[in-house]
Amino acid sequence: MIGTLITVIALFVLDQYLKFTRITPPILKYYHDEYGALNVPNIKYLKFKEGLFLGQTNYDGRFREHYPKRKIDSSTFRIVLVGDSFVEGIDVYSRHHFATHMEDIMSKKLGNKVEVLNFGRGNCTLQSSSYYYLNYIKKEYDADLVLFFVEARDLSQISDYPSTSFVFSDSLGDIVASKSWMETLDFKLVKTLKDMGALYYLNNSGLFRLAYRTKSGIGMYGFFPKVFGKFFPQPAVQTYDRFEVNLEMSKTAGRIFDTLSKESGPRVLFILRNFPLESSVLQRYMDSVDYDYIDLKDTLDYKYVRNTTDDAYFFKATGLYGGHWNHLGHKAIGYFLSNRLSNSISRREQTH
């Protein structure tokens, strides 16, 4: 009896320690009935896997900013970012995110306030992000320009991201919504816990968060590297190389690109990210259909900031190539996009 009591007290103390020291951040995703996996609103979040991020989500689950859905001042130029974890950017402080650089630079260049709203979600590919954009973001938010970040994975027919996505229906000859995420084991577990009323308490438990992140980490990195960390033998020198992905443009992706480019409303501009997954197919396709796009290879040459020796992906603090842009990469992209977009916007205004 005494042993059981001591164990319970020890687990409670450990749980509170994990929770309030924020060693294990809260679970970032929840399941929306219509859209599937979305970021949880209004949570404080600490991440120190590659770089270091300390911040929180806003009322709609976005990181970095708290702009309302509708513009307060009609003269404000508003840009919406859609993409994956590179756009989400929670490996650097918000002040180092490329969106912050864009706001600062473009406001000065255009002589007008510029707001950049960040709808990036980790691992969310075109098939899912486009559904969320067309059915939610576009309808709910004011925007003057939409930057859709795309890469090689977006050429695929299907998405493994657990949210509602587009798939191509041969019988209809068009894209339709798929809610296959409702068949996943994770969703069924979450639904069961929610029906039991246990989900709220588990989400607020430090031990449950630790177990959840351990499960996810083992699935991604393997048991021994995740459990033993720096004590598990690793290669002495980490490299981060590009490799070509030989995928053809799927019917799903092609129809989504066509739909986005022809939608009425804010202008959609595709931003091509060609590293580490490189796809010449994607660039050739953009050229063949004459879509507006900007290729980030014009500022990031392989893994370096163009014309410098600055590595845009290596995090010195952790000694890791984790897979995302560091603060140098964000700065380079922020300056590059600001100059390209400011010049383009100025030319458009002069011709209208």
Whether 197 has a pLDDT exceeding 60, the answer reads yes
Whether 193 has a pLDDT exceeding 80, the answer reads no
Q: Does residue 162 have a cis peptide bond before it, meaning omega lies within 30 degrees of 0?
A: no
* pLDDT given at position 86: 95
Whether 89 has a pLDDT exceeding 90, the answer reads yes
Whether 232 has a pLDDT exceeding 80, the answer reads no
* pLDDT given at position 65: 94
* pLDDT given at position 144: 97
pLDDT tens digits, one per residue of 313-323: 999 888 888 78
Tell which wins on pLDDT, 247 or 99.
99
Pull the structure tokens for residue 19.
Answer: 């929770």
- For the ranges 37-51, 191-205, 248-262, the maximum mean pLDDT occurs at 248-262
Beta strand residue intervals within 127-237, DSSP E: 145-150, 165-169, 174-178
Q: What span, in angstroms and rounded, lies between the C-alpha atoms of 180 and 171? A: 19
Determine contact, residues 232/224, Cβ cutoff 8 Å: yes
* pLDDT given at position 3: 75
Cβ-Cβ contacts under 8 Å for 293 (sequence gap 6 or more): 269, 270, 271, 272, 286
Domain count across the chain: 1
Whether 177 has a pLDDT exceeding 90, the answer reads yes
**What is the pLDDT confidence band of residue 74, given thresholds at 50, 70 and 90?**
very high
* pLDDT given at position 275: 82
* pLDDT given at position 351: 58
- Find the CATH number of the domain harbouring 36: 3.40.50.1110
* pLDDT given at position 308: 94
Other beta carbons within 10 Å of 246: 9
**What is the pLDDT confidence band of residue 126, given thresholds at 50, 70 and 90?**
very high
Q: In the chain, pLDDT over 70 holds for what percent of residues? A: 83
Closest by CA to 118, choosing from 135, 155, 143, is 143
Whether 237 has a pLDDT exceeding 70, the answer reads no
Whether 21 has a pLDDT exceeding 90, the answer reads no
Whether 25 has a pLDDT exceeding 80, the answer reads no
Whether 345 has a pLDDT exceeding 90, the answer reads no
Buried b (16+ CB within 10 A) or exposed e, 278-315: bbebbeebbeeeebebbebeebbebbbbeeeebbbbbb
Whether 224 has a pLDDT exceeding 90, the answer reads no
Whether 185 has a pLDDT exceeding 90, the answer reads no
**What is the pLDDT confidence band of residue 338, given thresholds at 50, 70 and 90?**
very high
Whether 195 has a pLDDT exceeding 90, the answer reads no
Q: What is the mean pLDDT of residues 189-218?
A: 69
- State the residue range of the domain holding 162: 2-350
Q: What span, in angstroms and rounded, lies between the C-alpha atoms of 123 and 107? A: 30
Long-range contacts, 62-68 (Cβ 8 Å, 24+): 62/117, 62/118, 62/119, 63/39, 63/88, 63/89, 63/90, 63/94, 63/118, 63/120, 64/89, 64/94, 64/97, 64/99, 64/100, 64/118, 65/94, 65/99, 65/115, 65/116, 65/117, 65/118, 67/115, 67/117
Determine contact, residues 119/62, Cβ cutoff 8 Å: yes
Tell which wins on pLDDT, 153 or 336.
336
Cβ-Cβ contacts under 8 Å for 62 (sequence gap 6 or more): 39, 117, 118, 119
